[in-house]
Amino acid sequence: MNELETKCPNTWCPGCGNFGILMAIKQTIDELIKRGTPKEKIVLVSDIGCNSKIVDYINVNSFYSLHGRPITTAEGIKLANSDLRVIVFTGDGGTFNEGSSHFIHAARRNANINVFLHNNRLFALTTGQFTAVSPKGLKGKSTPEGNVEEPFNLPELAMAAKASFIARGYSVKVDHLKKMMLEAINHEGFSFLEILQPCPSFFDTAKDYNERTYEAINPEIDSKEKALGFIREWNYNGEGKIPLGVFYKTERLHYEEEINKGTEDNKVDIKKCLATHL
Ligand SMILES: Cc1ncc(C[n+]2csc(CCOP(=O)(O)OP(=O)(O)O)c2C)c(N)n1
Ligand code: SF4
């Protein structure tokens, strides 16, 4: 674990949910290395935002992309180097406002990458504007009289986009979150892990989540119907329980397998490809 430390000063606010996510991913990477994944085969790709600073705090290869563009960057990295494990860290604003089309197409084509979403349900780094998953009525810098829009249900959106792995964790429940991370990373194909993350500075949801979240287990993990039953228990507005866990998992060929079919060693030589076609 000590080898994963960096010298970057941490600038998150005290009590930020990102600390729990950092703890869980460090433990997860430590576990992957112990199980035999070379450290240099792990690549973290970030967006821009409070969430994205996480890559500064972990001593592993990483790439800061543009706001809303980490998924497409990760897809390129994975396609050119299929033996890497590529993990995206992003925020709800970056990926479901600016970058929503990248998310749905990466899920649809089953790109073999992991998307870990720090969901604090607003744009935090820019001080609290509403996003596509803010609850109706949320008061913030850009909605002083309350947000009038309906939020997306993200796992439901992921299901409609054909994601092959869909799960939810909570930054306070670090052991459970680590389990979700390991399952997502070990899944072959597109994995979406939504991580509920309180932002004490602009939308402090910790008390609410502590009371309402529970660990759900889908007995038929490849049943869309069963998964949607759990997923629809919470629509980001209103009362009721909030399920955590792996909601859905299925196997199908992933994007790199489809693209690499029939090539030497089942691997596209990107350099050769560019030299031939440019
Ligand atoms: C294309 C583009 N649009 C807007 C910005 C400004 N910007 C930087 S961070 C940020 C908010 C990020 O919010 P979110 O993705 O939800 O992450 P959080 O900070 O909440 O973790 C915005 C709007 C930018 N850098 N680039
Ligand atoms: S603004 Fe919110 S998300 Fe950003 S560091 Fe502070 S508490 Fe965390």
pLDDT of 262 strictly over 90:
no
Ligand 2 nearest-atom number relative to CA 15: 7
In a domain, 5, yes or no: no
> At 240, is the secondary structure helix, strand, or coil?
coil
Q: Is 53 in the pocket of ligand 1 (CB under 6 A)?
A: no
In a domain, 195, yes or no: yes
pLDDT digits (tens, 9 = 90+) for 98-134: 999 999 999 999 999 999 999 999 999 999 999 999 9
In a domain, 44, yes or no: yes
Nearest alpha carbon to residue 192 among 226, 227, 217: 227
Ligand 2 nearest-atom number relative to CA 120: 3
Total tally of structural domains belonging to the chain: 1
CATH of the domain at 179: 3.40.50.970
Is 65 in contact with 97 (CB distance < 8 Å)? no
In a domain, 6, yes or no: no
Nearest alpha carbon to residue 217 among 188, 185, 180: 180
> At 221, is the secondary structure helix, strand, or coil?
coil
Determine the pLDDT at residue 266: 67
pLDDT of 254 strictly over 90:
yes
pTM of the model: 0.96
Task: Name the residue of 22, 103, 125, 138 to mutate for ligand 1: max ligand atoms within 8 A of Cβ.
Answer: 125
Q: Is 67 in the pocket of ligand 1 (CB under 6 A)?
A: yes
In a domain, 4, yes or no: no
Determine the pLDDT at residue 238: 83
State in Å: Cα 23 to ligand 1 middle.
Answer: 23
Task: Name the residue of 89, 196, 199 to mutate for ligand 2: max ligand atoms within 8 A of Cβ.
Answer: 199
In a domain, 103, yes or no: yes
Q: How many CB atoms lie within 10 A of CB 252?
A: 12
Distance CA 137, CA 224 (A): 31
In a domain, 2, yes or no: no
Instruction: Write out the residue range of the structural domain in which residue 105 sits.
Output: 11-277
Q: Is 126 in the pocket of ligand 1 (CB under 6 A)?
A: yes
Where on the phi/psi map is residue 266: left (φ > 0), alpha (ψ -120 to 50), or beta? left
The DSSP output letter for 8 is P
Distance CA 190, CA 72 (A): 13
Nearest alpha carbon to residue 99 among 58, 52, 165: 52
Buried b (16+ CB within 10 A) or exposed e, 166-200: bbbbbbbbbebbbbbbbbbbebebbbbbbbbbbbe
pLDDT of 276 strictly over 80:
no
pLDDT digits (tens, 9 = 90+) for 164-187: 999 999 999 999 999 999 999 999
Ligand 1 nearest-atom number relative to CA 52: 21
Which residue's alpha carbon is at the smallest distance from atom 1 of ligand 2? 124
Cα distances from 72 to residues 100, 132, 140, 168, in angstroms, run 11, 20, 30, 22
Q: Is 89 in the pocket of ligand 1 (CB under 6 A)?
A: no
